[in-house]
Amino acid sequence: MSSFSGHLDKLEAESIHIFREVAAGFQRPVMLYSIGKDSSVLLHLLRKAFYPARPPIPLLHVDTTWKFREMISFRDQVAASGGVQLLVHINEDGVRQGISPLVHGAAVHTDVMKTAALKQALDKYGFDAAIGGARRDEEKSRAKERVFSFRNAQHRWDPKRQRPELWNLYNTYIHKDESVRVFPMSNWTEMDVWHYIRREGIPVVPLYFAKERPVVSRDGALIMVDDDRFTLRDGEKVELRMVRFRTLGCYPLTGAVESTASTLDEVIAEMVESRSSERQGRVIDHDPSASMERKKQEGYF
């Protein structure tokens, strides 16, 4: 075991502190579980924070119905492994309307199946605090968001009316119908996440590791053909390539990177060499360059 002076220990302690504040400060907290590596770390920290008790906070997965199949089977394994309660919510209105990222585009799909679905779930269960794995190093508007980020009754974020957040003193007071989003990993970086996964032996979805996968090159991104809902455009052909994913989301919206890194150490080594940032593979973040800030104001996580 490494000495406590290491920065991973500090990050871990800070996150655990935040989890405990949430459990003590709110009536009905929930942890948003998106199956990705950050969620895996978040779940690990959640368990540590309340050990030996079972975490007093349930997990919620907002299922867009377009996640990679391997993500869903990983999620179901986690749920079956016990110790946590997992809720799954799907926007049934969106399913009835047949919302698809392939037909309606990334923006509409994300808005209906993710943002609206999340609001539905929060309202349905009456959650007053929703914990997420977002990190400040991911994106410019996240860099200024609080650890405890206030949302009004319409789930909207107002960047001009954020509460000052000093030391580790978090203000958990809200009125009825208001809520907060809580980000215990605000101060982690992508590098920290991978090193922590390695140190703690945390399981992650195998899609993060390179393997030959069927992909199509579309609009400058390598999209994996994960099921038969994916239809080829003229001139497109499916190729088997050694690829892996740096972030995971809906498969038609998530670009793979060509890589031979098939183990944790290789992934970390590749990242040290890497010269591009992790959200580059996400279609939703591109242009206009403040789009994430706008999405967050509307209630996106």
Residues in the site for other proteins, rule: CB under 8 A? 1-13, 16-17, 20-21, 23-24, 47-54, 136-137, 140-141, 143-144, 159-160, 162-169, 171, 173-175, 186-187, 189, 191-192, 195, 198-199, 265, 268-269, 272, 274-277, 280, 289-290, 293
Contact 261/267 with Cβ under 8 angstroms? Answer: yes
Contact 119/153 with Cβ under 8 angstroms? Answer: no
Angle subtended by helix axes 190-200 and 264-273, to nearest 10: 160
- For other proteins, give the closer residue by CB, 237 or 275: 275
The helix (run of H) or strand (run of E) holding residue 62 is strand 59-62
CB of 167 to other proteins, least distance (A): 5
CB of 152 to other proteins, least distance (A): 12
CB of 85 to other proteins, least distance (A): 15
- For other proteins, give the closer residue by CB, 1 or 80: 1
CB of 237 to other proteins, least distance (A): 27
Give the C-alpha separation, 78 to 81, whole Å: 5
Q: Which residues lie across from 151 on neighbouring strands?
A: 179
- For other proteins, give the closer residue by CB, 112 or 292: 292
Contact 112/23 with Cβ under 8 angstroms? Answer: no
- For other proteins, give the closer residue by CB, 24 or 240: 24
- CA torsion, points 145, 180, 21, 36, in degrees to nearest 10? -70
Give the C-alpha separation, 5 to 248, whole Å: 32
- For other proteins, give the closer residue by CB, 11 or 30: 11
